[in-house]
Amino acid sequence: MMNRAAREVASPRVVNIADLRGLAKRRLPRAVFDYLDGGAEDELTLRENCRVFCDFTFRPRQAVKFPEYNLRTTVLGREISFPAFLAPVGYSRLMHPGGEVVAAAAAGAAGTGYTLSTISGHKLENVRAATKGPAWFQLYIVGGRATAEASIERARKAGFDALVVTVDTPIAGMRERDFRNGMKEMLGSSILAKLPYLQDILEHPGWLYSFLRDGGMPRLENIVAPGTGAMQLVDVSAALANAVVSWDDLKWIREVWKGPVIAKGVLIGDDAKRALDEGVAAIVVSNHGGRQLDCASASLRALPEVVAAVNGRCEILMDGGVRRGSDIVKALCLGARAVLIGRAYAYGLAAAGQSGVARAIEILKADVDRTLRLLGCASVAELDETYLSRTRMD
């Protein structure tokens, strides 16, 4: 029997990711929703990440039948139920008290993996314990090298499978919605600064009740500087400016972390080759969901260049703009091993916690299965460019 949260996101109320987005928008205060939903500056890259999938149409094989259709793939040696991994999403605990723990649990229950952001409100040990699936830890070097090394050691002891190093964040992007909505003031300690934004918060009593019951503003439990304890959320933007990652940093990171290292945020072939030189096991083609440099290339458009530069020497993943299973299939046709999904599941988390994340995964997995069948393709491993036509030339 379904619980209340599961019923709220079941069909026919929720049939696609856009429906989950609508529920999230109604439940969250504007500042929290726009933090999740928004992008940098004019949000051109944010929109283009989604639109670019329309530049490709399918070339299906008709009148074919297979005894079964195989959605399973492997990423860094771990099998997952379909080619989508949950991406790191910062501040998840603001969206729902269960935050990273319930998202990881939903991923594991669905047979896929979860990536924990450094900017997270639940302890990484609890997140890893919540899932039987593969789990990766995404690293920002906030708080300095000693703090980062302490987090890496905790991730190792907890049993995380890989370390994701985000390379595209020398400074936080200009997310104008956050400034207009008072996100900084909301994260701060001053009640007076919050006053202009309280009306909107009070108009979302369900979220407010859950937020206060959870203890209010969480600390960043996975950024623990020696002698100071867990970092406050409001400190992150300033800390990022002092946490720039260079390719040379991958040398000491690989000395500390003996498992696979993934470089996330690559958009050009030259950077992909440099990442290979530094010994990464995988690359994520990503523009940070359009949240950093506006007018950067859409991830799907950058994907073929990176695939060609790597030439099979490491695994290629992609994130950005994925809202349907057909988007996942198109990315695989262009050379990705799998995709990372961020907003698609975060909308579900904000709407209904673990049930919402589970519903987002269920929708995308069913989409991939249906798309394969309609394409006349027996397995995601067989997807290639012959299944696509490019309708718009660059």
Report, as residue numbers or ranges, the catalytic residues: 288
Task: Enumerate the H helices of 323-390 as residue ranges.
Answer: 325-333, 343-375
Are the beta carbons of 291 and 41 closer than 8 angstroms? no
10 Å CB burial of residue 240 (0-12, 13-18, 19+) is middle
Backbone angles phi, psi at 103, to 5 degrees: -65, -45
Task: Enumerate the H helices of 197-268 as residue ranges.
Answer: 198-202, 205-213, 236-241, 249-256
317 bridge partner residues? 284, 338
Are the beta carbons of 113 and 136 closer than 8 angstroms? yes
Cα pseudo-dihedral 119, 125, 129, 131, rounded to 10: 20
> Residue 36 and residue 22: Cα distance in Å, rounded?
13
Q: What type of residue is 66?
A: F
Q: Which DSSP category does 28 fall into? A: S
Based on its alpha-carbon atoms, the radius of gyration of the chain, rounded to whole angstroms, reads 20
The tokens for 351 are 């709407």
Stretch (H or E) spanning 230:
strand 229-232
Scan for tokens 């027996």, then name that residue.
Answer: 378
Q: What is the Cα 172 distance to its own chain's centre?
A: 17
What does the DSSP assignment read for 110-159? TT--EEE-SS-SS-HHHHHHT-SS-EEEEE--TT-HHHHHHHHHHHHHHT
Q: Which DSSP category does 278 fall into? A: T
Report the b/e string of 308-332 with b at 16+ CB within 10 A. Answer: ebbeeebbbbbbbbbbbbbbbbbbb
